[in-house]
Every structure is written in C-alpha cells, then in structure tokens.
Amino acid sequence: MFHVKHLNKNKMITDIYDVIVVGAGHAGCEAAAASANLGSKTLLVTMNMQTIGQMSCNPAMGGIAKGQIVREIDAMGGYSGIIADRSAIQFKMLNLSKGPAMWSPRTQNDRMLFAEEWRLGLENTPNLDFFQDMVKSLIIKNGKAVGVVTGLGIEIRSKSVVLTNGTFLNGLIHVGDKQLGGGRMGEPRAFGITEQLVSLGFESGRMKTGTPPRVDGRSLDYSKMEEQKGDENPQKFSYLDTPNLTRQLSCHIVYTNETVHDILREGFDRSPMFNGTIQSTGPRYCPSIEDKINRFAERNRHQLFVEPEGWKTVEIYVNGFSSSLPEDVQIKAMRHIPGFENVKVFRPGYAIEYDYFPPTQLYHTLETKLIQNLYFAGQINGTTGYEEAAGQGLIAGINAHNKVHEKGEFILNRDEAYIGVLIDDLITKGTEEPYRMFTSRAEYRLLLRQDNADIRLTEKAFELGLAKEDRLKKVEEKIAKSEELETFLRETSLKPGIINPILETIESSPVDQAYRAAHFLTRPNMNLDKLEAIEAIKEIVSTYSNEVREQAEINIKYKGYIEKEKENVAKLNRLETIKIPEDFDYSKIASLSTEAKQKMAKIKPKTIAQAGRISGVSPADINVLLIYLGR
C-alpha cells in the first residue's frame, strides 16, 4: 500500500503487486516480461523511463555462447531474440569453420531502436505497470521481501521482489584521475540497497567493468580499414516470424600500433587501474586497452572493431579500446590509429566500479537464501554481458511468479541449456571476477547448440504458459520434418557412378559400391549442398527449409558423438537424483575434509551432483557423502 494519498486517488499504480522488478536493463526487462506474461501483476521500477532496455556498452547481441543464450531465451518465450531481430543492422554466424557446437549467432544492432523496441514491447505486455523512481530500500517482514521504498519515500507493496540493479549500486565512474558517482555516464547511482542487505547478513563485493570511447563516424577514413560485411544470407535469432534482414551495415577492423601503445603508456601514472584508485576486479576476457598492452607487452598491435551504432546515427563504437585513461591520452592515442587521424570524440571511455553480491548466496531459482521471495538477476550476481543478464532475468521472473502463486520451482539443468550452466556455475562455484559465458564452460555443448534451442526448451515454456500453442506446433513440425528428411537420406542409395564425381571435388576417396546418402554426409567437407548436385537428392531436399536441412544434417553427421554425450548425461544425472536434506549437518561427518565441510555448509547443495561441482570438494568427499546417505 502507498502512504501517499494522491497516488491512490489517481490510481497510478495497484495497491499490492505479485512481483516488483527493480531496474530496467536486460535482466529487469526479461524478468518483468516473464512474470507479467505468466499472469502476475508486475511493476517495473526504473530510475529513468527513457533508458529501458539500454545497451550500456556495445551495440550488439549474441556472440560466442552468448548467441546460444539468446536463442534459449527466445525458445522460452522471452523477448531478447525478437528485439534483437527487429533492431538488427547486421547478422553474422560466428565459428562456422568449426563444429556446430561452436556456431554462435551475433547481431549488430541499432542502439536507439533496440531500446525503443524493448519499451514498446513491454508497454504492450498485459499485467505490467511502470514507475519511475530510485528504489532506496526493501520492505522486509518476517524474513520475506514484501515491497520497496522509493527515493520519494513511497512504499510499494508486493509479494516478491526481483533486484536487477546492474552497475548502479554505489556506482563510481573513473576517467583518469576524475571520479564521478553514477551507474552509467550521465546517470545517477543508486544507494541504500547494498547497505540494507549487508545489515541483513548478505556478503557484498566490488567489481569493475569498462566501456570504450564513442566517436564521430564522419571523422573517420574507412579506406584505411578492413571492411567486415554481414552474412550473405543472414539468419535471425527468434524462432518466430520476425523481419528478415534485407540490407546490412558493415563493421570495420583496424589495428593499434607501437606508437599508440607508447602514448597510452605515458598516461599509466594517471590511470586509476595502475595508481591504486581502482582495486576491484575487472572482466578477464574483455580487458581495457591499457590492461592489454601491459599484460601482453610482447604484442605490437591489438585488433579493434569499428562498429556503427545504428542506421541513421553517425556515432561509432570502438570495440576493443575500452579505457579509463585520461580523456586527453585516449584522444591522442586514437589519432595514431589508421583511419582515426582526425577523429572527433563524442564521449571518452571510462571504467565503472559497482557493488555485487556473491551468487553462492542464491538458490538455483535465483531466490536469496537469507530472504524469502527476494531474487537477484544480472550484474548484481557478478556476471557481465547483456545475454547472461537477460537469461538470469527470465529465470528470476518465472520463479518469482511461481513462488507467489504456490507453483513449483523452475530450474534448467546443465544438460538442458546454457542458462542452466550459467546459473549452476554462479551459485555453486561463485565468481570473484565478472563472469562471462563461453562454450568451454558447457560440458554438454554438442547438445546445447544454437540450432536446437527450440527443440530443447519450447515444450517446457509451453507447460509454464510462456509459449503459445502455435509456437509448440511449429517446433513439432520442425522435428517431424527433420526426422522425415533424415529417413530419406538414410534410405536412399547412391551408386559409385553418381557419387564418385562429387567425392572427387572434395578430394575424398571414391567408392566401388552403393552406399546410403547419409553415409557420405559423415565424410569431412561433405554437406547437403554438395549432394544436391544429384538430381534425385535435390528433388526431395530442396522442398525442406534451411532450418530443417541443418537439423537433419547435424543429426546425421554427429550421431555417434551426440549419443555418447547423452549417455554421459544419463550417468551423471543419477547423482542429480540423490538429494541432500537442506538442513544436513556436514560437521558430523569426521571423514569429510575441512574445506568440503565449510564449502558445502555455505552453498548447501541440493544434490550429490551439485556438491561434486563445488570447488574444493574432492571425489573422496563425495564417496564419503554417498556412504553416509546410504547410497
């Protein structure tokens, strides 16, 4: 309930919400959309209605492993894939020279259009209200989150709260020796929540991230750069009928040089990274330019991507030149990069420090262990990246809805989704540096491909109520058509006189007897496109969509590997079924190592399999635990 009468009189917002989401970045937007679409009365509270869905850093979605997450969000009925498609200015499928487990979709996006599409999408979502104000504290009653208090002193009641504060919690921006309080350049920081949570017993820490300069594209000489066009036949993120990308903008590649590095080094004594001003940990896999030339001193150049910010704007994002050096040093150094000799800077790069809460304080649902009905998602959990944040927001929104409506927990396992890997890594292992998803983090990545996210997850989304029946039917049709095409390829024989000329073109050994078409697909460098040189194959294969063809081909080529991976899943899942009581007292087991006792008591693993993934818990500790549990 509100304590401000005129708000009730004007009926600006409802008395009690099912879910309040704090923050309207990528995590907050997905959390709000999920809970509202499931039927919860939801309020999205943001400090600025004009920055809903803002791309704070690079104007792109997806990439290595991140593209798989966007596809998973889309399959689950989330919005990120749809918004990315509607605002795309370029599409590329990365890692096509590698196996399908590594293929990763990525879009370059129109920054302003992306945020506009998010806002319009949310405004058209039933059950979702908005309120612009800072949240300065939570309302906690009997160990439960029951609302928030805003900067205006307004109390808003709810049955659950999802915190998605991004970099705004006590955010501090660094540009050289200058420090500014803020969550993003030009936007105020949020305060009060960290202090309250720490007083309630939560552990907090500080992390750092950064962003590169934005420059005027009219001041660049692109003739000195290497053009990077999008794919000739661009795909999409969403499995729905989002618009096809009919024209694309190019990115460009350019390199730093020794002169650039020498100028940057001159400013190191004024760098907050090197003079001790910044002491928090930054992202290992997205370091600043000064960090790169310091750590990799043997390299005489580093690659930069010159990325357009949109269809109409001249603003350019200099990907790879993230920096917190003084603005004069940044500009001086950039003017020695080929094509940047006359560069005009819209905004210098900067670093930002912010509060986060080690995610081992959460359950798999992203509910906190200390306060019921309170959920954390996004950078508050120590992650970096829009996609990682959005995936967490989706899961937090689903579980907040389920909790207040007395439904079961919704958890994605490591063999079901990259989102499952992400959350399990966070709550089981924790993180002391900004966590970024990679394909190497997923032990079952051949099962978690970008092409089959709909097959893996749509039925789950349908059972939840996030996916509509038409989406489910579309997936079922894709599965049926893929199986139909596979059957055709496994049953169709190709005689030597027909197939040998094609084998010769790929320098593959000829055959002296007939084999099934599927047999030849397992050969290196062979694919369906090449087999379509055979009229009988083309006549059938050409009637199927590219999506179905890709699915059938992957299933045939990698059948043995896929089956082996499924066997491994089945073996390990036996340990997932062995539950550990939540109040289990590890101190009673003398033969457990001291580290195992401490780590398991803190993290409270729900299963033997999760206990085995905790850093510091050995196989011997797991065997002791199994014996103690009578297994």
Q: Which residues are annotated as a binding site for FAD?
A: 23-28
Cβ atoms of 25 and 56 within 8 Å: the answer is yes
Nearest to 401 by CA among 132, 74, 77, 46: 77
Residue type, 434: P
Q: Count CB atoms within 10 A of the CB of residue 329.
A: 21
b/e sequence 406-442, b meaning 16+ C-beta within 10 Å: eeeebbbbbbbbbbbbbbbbbbbbbbeebbbbebebb
Give the C-alpha separation, 83 to 123, whole Å.
Answer: 14
d(CA 421, CA 424): 5
Question: What is the number of residues in the chain?
Answer: 631
Binding site feature residues:
23-28, 282-296
Interacting residues of 368 by C-beta distance below 8 A, sequence separation 6+: 202, 361, 362, 374, 375, 376
Residue pair 349/323 in contact by the 8 Å Cβ criterion: yes
Dump strand ranges (E) for 25-86. 42-46, 60-62
Q: What is the dihedral of CA 415, 418, 420, 426, to 10 degrees?
A: 130
Check: CB of residue 314 under 8 Å from CB of residue 216. yes
**DSSP sequence for 300-360:** S--EEEEEE--SS--EEEEET----S-HHHHHHHHTTSTT-TT--EEE--EEEEEEE--GG
Q: Which amino acid is present at 273? A: M
CA distances from 436 to 26, 384, 388, 423 (A): 15, 6, 7, 12
- List, in order, residues 6 or more apart from 130 with CB less than 8 Å away: 43, 44, 45, 46, 49, 122, 123
What is the side-by-side order of every strand in the sheet holding 104-109?
60-62, 104-109, 88-94
Q: In angstroms, rounded to a whole number, what is the distance separating the alpha carbons of residues 32 and 22?
A: 9
For residue 614, give both structure tokens.
């905790």
Nearest to 551 by CA among 625, 627, 453, 465: 453
Residues 6+ away with beta carbon under 8 Å from 294 = 268, 274
Q: What is the DSSP letter of 251?
A: E
Do the beta carbons of residue 590 and residue 600 sit within 8 Å? no
CA distance 364 to 30: 17
Do residues 378 and 392 touch, judged by C-beta distance below 8 A? yes
Instruction: Could you list the residues known to form a binding site for NAD(+), using ranges.
Output: 282-296
441 three-class SS: helix
